Structure 1
């Protein structure tokens, strides 16, 4: 009542839009034409609820159920060939892992 804001709703809406941590939500709010304080609050609450639901789903789903089994092709090799081939595969995997780190 005693503040010097001309329109308190606009000032509060600006603070919500500028202060939101979710950059995607902030961009959505900034892109909405005719955004009001009420619409900004509704959008923020809906976004927060959706994120909370997504986190609950991620917590409850089992990683084993989410992944499909990968078919493996197996060939018989002599013991000398097998150990040499396995060593090559191990070293190749280590080199690839170092690249990604």
Structure 2
């Protein structure tokens, strides 16, 4: 339920902003919730350095660790960064909370 899940609500908003069809969004939600037989999704955290040595943490939901790692590594390198080992930049961050706001004017 997007009303109770701010991360889901944000993802749906971003997908709609990119003109993703509603049926594709619903299929992605079904896949992520495990309502598709044989599909197991897991959340993975990648760490690395972006342009000018900027520390980055990427959270991803995937059903294929190898494919996702390869894609994230490619994006890091294409933008002048590099994918690091677990713990390579996470020590630089403190998770202090989640900010949720009501998006007005979104349909």
Q: TM-score, normalised by structure 1?
A: 0.27
Q: Which has the higher contact order (CA 8 A, sep 6+)?
A: 2
Structure with the bigger percentage of strand: 2
Choose between structure 1 and 2: higher helix proportion.
Answer: 1
Q: Which has the larger radius of gyration?
A: 1
